[in-house]
Structures are given as structure tokens and as C-alpha cells.
Amino acid sequence: MVCGRAWVALVSLAWALVLAWASAGCSSADAVKAAGVVHAYLPVVSGLAQDAMAIAEGLDPANAQLIGQVSVRVQGDLTEMESLSDAYMATPTADTWTRLLAVVDRMVNDADQGLMAALAIKNPQSQMEAKVALSALDAAIHVVDGYLAAARTPMQAKAAAASRTMKVKAVSRAWSEADKDRVAMALGERVDVMVEAASEAGY
């Protein structure tokens, strides 16, 4: 589990890069820059996935298995995303970009489903612990999705919306206000505008 000063430093570095990129603006031609920002943010997501796995180990077997499986899938996706974003920054190709977006879409679905599973836990204490970990992980993955969203073509955005198994309006209810702000920043919108726009787009 990532913690202490190292965790604070890691998050601070990632958000410094994110804020610098956001303030410069983004267009559909900025895919390489978006991939670079996401690449810098991936260690934060990985740390949250590890936290979720650690909490899952303390739950009853049925809940632990489900949430643990989500964490394992996300960790695998993160490894693939790191490789793809590295490759895309070095040599941008349409194939690598398509594969990168596919991994993000898969991660969003996995994290959304994990969060919904956490909210369905009947034991109040276990539900609270799982919700804290899974909501932070889910929001972080939506941050990644948000920064890549601006570089998607309209067709890619439509395909992403069609691939989602959950609506952002449903999962965002479980996010903390700070997490909502981070996702909104990634999308360049206020939280209320973000949810309304995502709903209209089918997310």
C-alpha cells in the first residue's frame, strides 16, 4: 500500500502535471499530451487499486472475492495502459491509440461494477470501508477517462458511451466532493454540468 510522505509526494507530482496540462487547454490534436498526463497519473490509480485490494482482504469471503477480482483486473489494465501510453508517446499510431482507449473503457466498467458491488454489501462497517476504497479508485479511473475524452473523436466518444455498463450519474453519487471535483476538472466542467452532459451523451 502506498502511504505517508511518498504517497503525498506522488499525488502532488501527478496533480501538478495534470493542472499544468489543463491550464494549457486541449484539442483533438493533443492525444500525445493527454497520454503523457495519464501516464504520470497511473501510479496514483495503482496505489488506490492496492488500497482496495488490502481492504478486500478484510471482508467476508464472498465480498472479498468480488472486490479483489476488480482490483486484480484494474491492476492488469494499468500495466497494459502504462505500456501503451509509453508506446504512444514514443511513436503515436492510430492502432496504439485505439488500444489505449479500449483499456480505459474496460477499466471504467470494472471500477464502476466494483463500486456498485461495494454499495451492495449488507454489513454496514464492511460497506463503509469498501465504499471508501472503491469510490476513490472509481473516481481516479474516471479522471483518466476524462483527460483522454477531449482527445477522442466523436465516433470514439460514441463508442465509449455505448460500451459503458453503468451511468456516471449513478456511480458519482458515491464519490466524495473532492473526487467529484477532480473528475470535473479532468472533463473541464463543474460537477453538475459534468453529470448532466454525461447523461445526455449516454455515459
Contact 2, 13 (CB under 8 A): no
Query: In terms of residue numbers, what domain contains 95?
Result: 4-201
Give residue 68's pLDDT.
82
Give residue 106's pLDDT.
92
C-alpha to C-alpha distance for 203 and 152, rounded to whole angstroms: 14
Count the domains in the chain: 1
CB atoms near residue 51 (< 10 Å)? 20
Give residue 201's pLDDT.
52
Contact 202, 161 (CB under 8 A): yes
Which among 135, 154, 142, 157 is positioned nearest to 187, based on CA atoms?
Answer: 142
Which among 102, 103, 98 is positioned nearest to 81, based on CA atoms?
Answer: 103
Find the Cα–Cα–Cα–Cα dihedral 56, 80, 146, 15, rounded to 10°: 80
Contact 88, 97 (CB under 8 A): yes
For the whole model, what pTM was predicted? 0.77
Long-range contacts of 154-159 (CB under 8 A, 24+ apart): 156/98, 156/101, 157/201, 158/202
Give residue 200's pLDDT.
54
Give residue 141's pLDDT.
92
Give residue 15's pLDDT.
42
Residue 58 per-residue DSSP state: T
Per-residue pLDDT of the chain (203 residues; tens, 9 = 90+): 444 444 344 444 444 444 444 444 444 456 888 888 888 888 888 888 888 888 888 888 877 887 888 888 888 999 999 999 999 989 889 899 999 999 999 999 999 988 988 888 888 888 888 888 889 999 999 888 888 887 888 888 888 888 887 777 788 888 888 888 888 887 765 445 445 555 555 55
